[in-house]
């Protein structure tokens, strides 16, 4: 079978830091043959650095030369580029969030169904070893009741790129960071449908000049996205989820936490722990070693390649990424009200 020819649209931080090296790990099955970026110098530099043959100024020109694309541009462009690629008969791995709004995500999903092409969204937390092991352990948790999700960074607003620009990204800490752990938690819960969403968002940093920030600096006057978000989500099976996310929390330290309390037992993902009852006792089990690939980006690339080659199914289905975007929309709408 011939190799899957992959092109990149947008070759900034995440393309160079995660996806290009991950795909190049699988040189027997795929070849990155083309890159495109509005910053043409960057596109050429990346092509030279990673030995990629073709550089296209206009991303649509690459479609006839590739079988799949990885879209790594700001969120505003995800829908337009994904739909154009799918309609040209090209599979897509699109960075998260799926798009700026659920409405755009629905159009992307429709395009993938109509063209019968693969549409994957890069919610890479699902490919972490702890996450994969937790998914297998969910049978010991039983029906999920209450899920707690915390994606909290202490003073780490990304000071580079366009992360604090609402027009290009659609939001801040929730759409950029909290979305990962929200996606992971709902997948572990078995992807129940949400029925009710309440949220609060805060935008304190837009009013705070010279904020102490560990990840570079940003202009508070143009900072127009959320820095803290809390939400309560209710699902049709009765389960509920409490979400807290922030880029700039005044807390002791960063926290990534997903825990699920179910009918039979409970678990926490980071670190991986199982809480159960046995022989009349309360038992806690901790994973001492988890097999598998350390780099979730590599597992994500493998799943995408194998799905495009018809060997397996997507781990992150576009319908599931759509639900994450629907919930994000509803959190922002609830907060506005
Ligand atoms: N999965 C993760 O953990 C993770 C982490 C970081 C970023 N991301 C996502 O990846 C995407 C890109 O983020 P990044 O950090 O690489 O940003 P970046 O700013 O470093 O890179 C974006 C690149 O896209 C290019 N670009 C912008 N508009 C374009 C257009 N219209 N056509 C072609 N190229 C265009 C820019 O010139 C730049 O090179 C975003 O959607 C972001 O949310 C995901």
pTM of the complete model: 0.97
Q: Could you tell me if the CB of 75 is within 6 A of ligand 1?
A: yes
Q: Could you tell me if the CB of 17 is within 6 A of ligand 1?
A: no
User: What are the phi and psi torsion angles at 142 (to 5°)?
Assistant: 75, -160
Mean pLDDT per block of 10 residues along the chain (337 residues) reads: 93 98 98 98 98 96 97 98 98 98 98 98 98 97 98 96 96 98 98 98 93 94 96 98 97 98 98 97 96 96 98 98 98 97
Range list of β-strands (E), the chain: 4-9, 30-36, 54-56, 68-71, 91-94, 119-121, 144-152, 194-202, 228-235, 240-246, 255-262, 266-268, 273-278, 281-286
Q: Could you tell me if the CB of 46 is within 6 A of ligand 1?
A: no
Q: Largest Cα–Cα distance in the chain?
A: 67
**pLDDT attached to residue 64:** 95
Closest CA to 194 of 337, 96, 83, 334: 334
**pLDDT attached to residue 1:** 63
Q: Could you tell me if the CB of 13 is within 6 A of ligand 1?
A: yes
**pLDDT attached to residue 2:** 86
Q: Could you tell me if the CB of 72 is within 6 A of ligand 1?
A: yes
**pLDDT attached to residue 115:** 98
- Structural domains for the chain: 4-122+297-312 (3.40.50.720), 126-292 (3.30.360.10)
What's the CA-to-centroid distance between 281 and ligand 1, angstroms? Answer: 50
Residues 6+ apart with CB under 8 A from 196: 233, 234
- C-alpha atoms less than 13 angstroms from C-alpha of 113 in its C-beta half-sphere: 9
DSSP result, 107-124? HHHHHHHHHT--EEE--G
* Residue 71 alpha carbon, nearest atom of ligand 1: 11
Question: Whose alpha carbon is nearest atom 30 of ligand 1?
Answer: 38
User: What are the phi and psi torsion angles at 151 (to 5°)?
Assistant: -125, 90
8, 9, 12, 60: which to mutate for ligand 1, most atoms within 8 A of CB? 12
């Amino acid at each position: 079978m011939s190799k899957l020819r992959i092109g990149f649209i947008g070759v900034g931080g995440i393309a160079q830091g995660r996806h290009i090296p991950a795909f190049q790990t699988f040189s027997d099955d795929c070849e990155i043959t083309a890159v495109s970026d509005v910053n043409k110098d960057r596109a050429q530099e990346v092509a030279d650095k990673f030995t990629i043959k073709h550089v296209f100024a206009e991303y649509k020109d690459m479609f006839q030369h590739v079988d799949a694309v990885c879209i790594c541009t700001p969120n505003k462009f995800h829908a337009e580029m994904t739909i154009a690629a799918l309609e040209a008969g090209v599979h897509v791995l699109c960075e998260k969030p799926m798009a700026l709004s659920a409405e755009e995500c629905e159009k992307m999903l429709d395009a993938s169904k109509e063209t019968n092409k693969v549409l994957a969204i890069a919610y890479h937390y699902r490919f972490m070893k702890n996450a994969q092991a937790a998914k297998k352990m969910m049978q010991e948790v039983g029906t999920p009741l209450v899920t707690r999700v915390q994606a909290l960074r202490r003073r780490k607003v990304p000071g580079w790129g366009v992360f604090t620009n609402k027009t290009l990204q659609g939001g801040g800490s929730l759409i950029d960071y909290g979305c990962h752990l929200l996606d992971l938690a709902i997948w572990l819960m078995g992807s129940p449908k949400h029925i009710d969403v309440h949220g609060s968002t805060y935008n304190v940093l837009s009013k705070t000049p010279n904020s102490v920030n560990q990840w570079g600096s940003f202009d508070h006057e143009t900072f127009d996205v959320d820095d803290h978000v809390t939400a309560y989500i209710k699902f049709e099976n009765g389960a509920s989820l409490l979400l807290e996310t922030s880029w700039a929390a005044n807390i002791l330290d960063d926290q990534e936490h997903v825990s699920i309390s179910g009918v039979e037992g409970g678990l926490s993902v980071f670190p991986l722990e199982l809480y159960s009852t046995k022989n009349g006792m309360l038992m806690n089990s901790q994973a001492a070693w988890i097999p598998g690939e350390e780099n979730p980006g590599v597992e994500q690339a493998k799943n995408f390649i194998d799905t495009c080659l018809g060997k397996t199914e997507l781990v992150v289905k576009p319908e599931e990424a759509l639900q994450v975007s629907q919930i994000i929309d509803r959190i922002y709408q609830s907060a506005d009200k």
